[in-house]
Chain A
Amino acid sequence: MTLMSRSCRIAQDQIVAVLAGSVDLRDRRALDAHAARCYRCADALRDAVATHVALGRAFAPLRAAHTLVAPGRVRLALRPAPASPFAPLFGLATRLAEGTVALGVSAFILSSAVAGMAPGEPAPAPAEQSDGVAVHVSRSFDDTQFFYRWVRIGRYAPINDLLDPSIGIPRGADDADTPEPVRESALR
């Protein structure tokens, strides 16, 4: 730890005041006189001045920064939100609608749960997968319970035949509509 005299302590305190320009001429002369005698304080003063100058130069371009904000934005920020005279009624209607929906959903969930627990008809047979289409079937067939499921599969002529306008497709060969012949150039 470095021991400092009282005058050195005062000088160190005054360095910042000198740099900030808030020291009168008498104190400044006193500081200069002390720095002339004490090399430690002279060093400190020189370092402080060098840093002060560097800071001044570094911050100089930043001091030119400016904003284009207009006072109108402050007025906008201060303006209260417009209050509608029907706002309380609208709020009440909204709350009622929300309550009704909540009650309806709760009743539906409760009734579904009660119906699921009650003994009744057996559960329907599981769906069977057929050609990518789910079809419900009944396990037990009788004369009164049968149905057809007719899947219509269109067959189209080979592409080479379609491109040749001289080859006609016989009507009624399948259930698909006869496609129009397309010229090869149109496909490119």
Chain B
Amino acid sequence: MKPKKAQTRAGEADEARSDRELVYAARDGDTRAFDALFYRHRDGIFRLGLAITKDPSAADEIVVDTFARAHRALARLEPDDSLRPWLYRVAVNLSYNRRPRKGVVLSPLEDAVDEKVTSDEGSPANLAELAELRRVVLAAVDLLGPKHRLVVVLHYLNGLNLAEIAQVVDCPIGTVKSRLHYALRRLRTHLSAHPELGLEPRAAFMASPGRQRTAPLIVEPVRLDRR
């Protein structure tokens, strides 16, 4: 049992180390440090690859290729704190190289993920409603242009903040903001065609007399699963 305990303790120690420390350790030949980096970021890269290619096996290959590139570039990697933007940038490039050719019909993203995600708890009616919402929203996301879709995926699927997205897509934060703003507006237009989803705050607001607000709007951003 002793070696197992020692392994667990080493794993916890690796989790506490920052990406920068792990990169330096891996550069010195510490295989465990590289493995810790791999386990820390593999799921995020997988999701990103899955969102762009819509093919789980291609997403797996993107994970492997991304870390193979990272290993080759260890000597010149200088992450400020997190290696995530660099890894995601490589993964985005690899994903766009692996995108299905025109004419090849792959199953939609929600189908690809259904096999991998266990259903949430809830009544069948809630699950059906959620599935419909997901289908409509993801279909609307698919209609966006590649730049806007990438920003949406990086923010809402991978939980990157605006500064990290700016590093991944290599543009100023203001550009990321405007792309996200434009994407939200376009999505809003698409979603307004589905009143059954209950996403009509404007209609409710317009019904109020005088169209004037007295209380401040309380904006509670959705908690994303950030790491």
Could you tell me which A residues sit within 8 Å of B by CB distance? Answer: 12-13, 15-22, 28-29, 32-33, 35-36, 39, 42-43, 45-59, 61-67, 69, 71, 73-74, 77-78
Contact = CB atoms under 8 A, between A and B. Distances in A.
B177 interface: yes
Interface stretch (B11-19, B63-71, B77-85, B93-101): B63-71
A45 B46 contact: no
The dominant DSSP class at the A interface is: helix
Given A15-B181, A46-B202, A62 B221 contact: no
B201 interface: yes
B4 interface: no
Nearest to A41: B217
Nearest to B180: A16
Interface residues of B, number: 70
A56 B217 contact: no
A103 to B, nearest CB: 43
B171 interface: no
A58 B224 CA distance: 12
B177 A17 contact: yes
Given A42-B217, A43-B202, A43-B205, A20 B68 contact: no
The dominant DSSP class at the B interface is: helix
A-B residue pairs, 4 tightest by C-beta: A56-B222, A58-B137, A32-B216, A67-B46
A12 B181 contact: yes
A59 B152 CA distance: 10
Interface string B203-227: 0011000011111111101101100
A46 B200 CA distance: 9
Contact of B133 (A57, A62, A67): A57
A22 B181 contact: no
A33 B216 contact: yes
A13 B224 CA distance: 21
B134 interface: yes
B25 interface: no
A55 B156 contact: yes
Contacts of A52: 184, 221-222
B168 interface: no
A58 B177 contact: no
A49 B199 contact: no
B137 A54 contact: yes
